A and B are shown apart, each in its own frame.
Chain A
Amino acid sequence: MSVTITPTMVGQVIVSGLLAGALYSMVALGLALIFGVMRVINIAHGTFLMLGAYTTFWWFHLLQVNPYLSLLASMPLMFLLGVLLQRTMVSRVVDAPELSSLLLTFGLSLALVNLTQLLFSSDLRSVEYLTGAFLVGPFALSKSRLISFVFAVSITLLAFWFLQKTKLGKAIRATSQSSEVAMVCGINVERIHLYAFGIASALAAAGGSLVAVMIAIQPEMGQVFTLKSFLVIVLGGAGNYPGALVGGMLLGLVEQLSSLFLTTQLSEAVAYVLLVLVLLLRPSGLLGGRAR
């Protein structure tokens, strides 16, 4: 009782995969940034995404602000929250053994998720803004996903431009490559850490704002994005920023194609099998390790 797979269907899921992948890339870039600069795996990354989604929801719900416009609120807000948390807590564990930072960010994530539950309850919320699809020939392009894709790609490109061309971006990359040498060259590494955590949180928040228009919002929605981002940066090469892009797109495509050719149940398994294969065959990720 299944269906014959036609080229049109493959085309449709490739489109869906790319639309999802761009979002994964953007969110994972944040995780990669924190890992690259501080060697910290931020388990609370998805939590920032969730908070971004709630920001969009409340702006839309209470003030009727266009959800895409609310990126202008969610990103700076989460940037500030990220900087605050980095300054007060995460900075204490940057050079500590890895377990400390894992525990700290895990704890932070629990605290923030529970606080959100307390404040906003665990009821599902949604931003009913753009539903439906553009019909292009045999393909249906979800309006909300298409617009999210455009935003995700633009924000990611902007982040890359920032990392490549600006002085601060260069300093961030220098710190990724070697924080000792960066320090010797006169870069204020602690300050770079603040920026990196802030920018990463803003990227997650952008993901949240865009996701808010696509799926229902609830306090635990971030966890799956933390996991996926982790998968993406390992696939692409931890700490390698272009790797996050490739990894995100790859994850989106693999998920969709395996759901099509196998079943939705198996698609998660396929993504993790891919992860194991990459770890076995190219442990430094598809594009290699450290950031350049």
Chain B
Amino acid sequence: MMRYHDRPGGLVAVGVVLLALTSGIGLWASPAAAQNPIKIGASLSLTGTYAALGQNQNRGYQLCAKHVNEQGGVLGRKIEFVLYDDQSQPATGVRLYEKLITQDKVDAILGPYSSAITEAVANVNEKYKMPMVAPMASTTSIFKKGRKFIFMVQSPAEVYLEGLIDVAAKRGLKTVAILNEDTLFPKATVQGTIDLAKQKGLQVVFVEAYPKGNTDFSAVLTKVRAANPDVLAASTYFDDAVAITRQMKELNVNPKMFGVTVGGDLPKFYELLGKNAEFVYGATQWEPELPYPGANEFKDAHHKEFPGADLSYHAAGGYAGCRILADAIKRAGSLDGEKIRNEILKTDTSTVYGGFRVDQDGFQISHKMVMFQWQEGKKVIVWPDELAAGKARFPTPPWSQR
């Protein structure tokens, strides 16, 4: 069997080279270079199922290191990533964080990609009392198990469709039907959506789950049509979001509002569906256009540093999570885990990624989801009002007139 640290060994080298490339020439006699760098450990999904997303997050981490170091580093020292590849496997992630903390003796850590891997890794940093800002985990339960050293950056699964429900309520709509893929994250979204609908006085008239990989939605959409809801909310990933939209047209299912969770935000969604994507609402954690502090600079820096690379919320979230950790270390004035933890709990700020404030459990209470609507091939943010760039086109016209 291959010894697991053989592979990370190679990746450290790659990581160091990457860092050397991205952090420019580091040999100037700046004060930050005088001492050993602060080592921040992380493993990301650089290969495997989540590779594309993990690589995006990595770009956020690297850009953060560059910017922090350009601004004089932390505690008079530069920061440097020790980065491994967990191959999108939770078990590998656990081993790597164990190794980062005990063998590489990193000074601080940052979270991996995905809820599943974060959930697995959270027990490791908890054991060593090392605070972990986890930028890419949005499943509530991870943060509600009494763990003290994990901190959430994104909005939780439960509020993905808050915008859709809120706008529907404001427009005086009464009924909502919900469809979801039958897996952890979409199920959490459904529960949250049902609660939100009740709070806003909407009646949930139909809920049904479908298996992962389902391609034929005719029967379930026939039922939706019979339920005749004002709003159809679908808790999706990507393939299903596309298929449901197409088949709604085929079965002439046309609620006044139709929104999806994940997948609707990818440019590919519009590429595949063309005009049929018009009027569809989607939820997203972040969009490059949002007027958050420093967002433009971040966008430009990302574009300059990684020409041609996707700019997604994974990069922005990774960047923000890393900045929050760096600031907390600065304010703590030390690398002591307890002290850093206290500073993170006190943090109440707005980053390129939006608001950041956590409750005593480390659960995110400030970051806001936004909702956009596809309008003439562009994602126009229509909710919440204070961030909206345009008005929702309401209600959706018959399919034949799109």
Contact = CB atoms under 8 A, between A and B. Distances in A.
Contacts of A4: 226
Contacts of A132: 249-250, 252, 399-400
Interface in A219-277: 224, 255-257, 259-260, 263-265, 267-268
B242 A216 contact: yes
Contacts of B239: 124, 216, 218
Interface string B217-240: 111101100110000000000110
A3 B182 contact: no
Nearest to B209: A265
Contacts of A215: 215, 243, 246
Nearest to A218: B239
A9 B249 contact: no
B210 interface: yes
A140 B250 contact: yes
B211 A3 contact: no
Interface string A105-147: 0000000000000000001111010011101000010111100
A6 B228 CA distance: 13
Interface residues of A, number: 40
Contact of A2 (B182, B206, B219, B249): B206
A134 to B, nearest CB: 10
A12 interface: yes
B213 interface: yes
Interface residues of B, number: 38
Nearest to A141: B250
Contacts of A2: 206-208, 223
Nearest to A267: B219
Contacts of B215: 215, 224
B213 A224 contact: yes
20 contacts: A1-B204, A1-B207, A3-B206, A3-B223, A3-B226, A9-B222, A16-B219, A124-B239, A124-B242, A124-B272, A132-B252, A133-B249, A133-B250, A133-B252, A142-B250, A143-B250, A215-B215, A224-B215, A264-B210, A265-B210
Given A224-B215, A255-B216, A259-B219, 14 more contacts: A1-B206, A3-B223, A124-B239, A126-B272, A128-B272, A131-B276, A132-B250, A132-B252, A142-B250, A143-B250, A215-B215, A216-B239, A263-B209, A263-B220
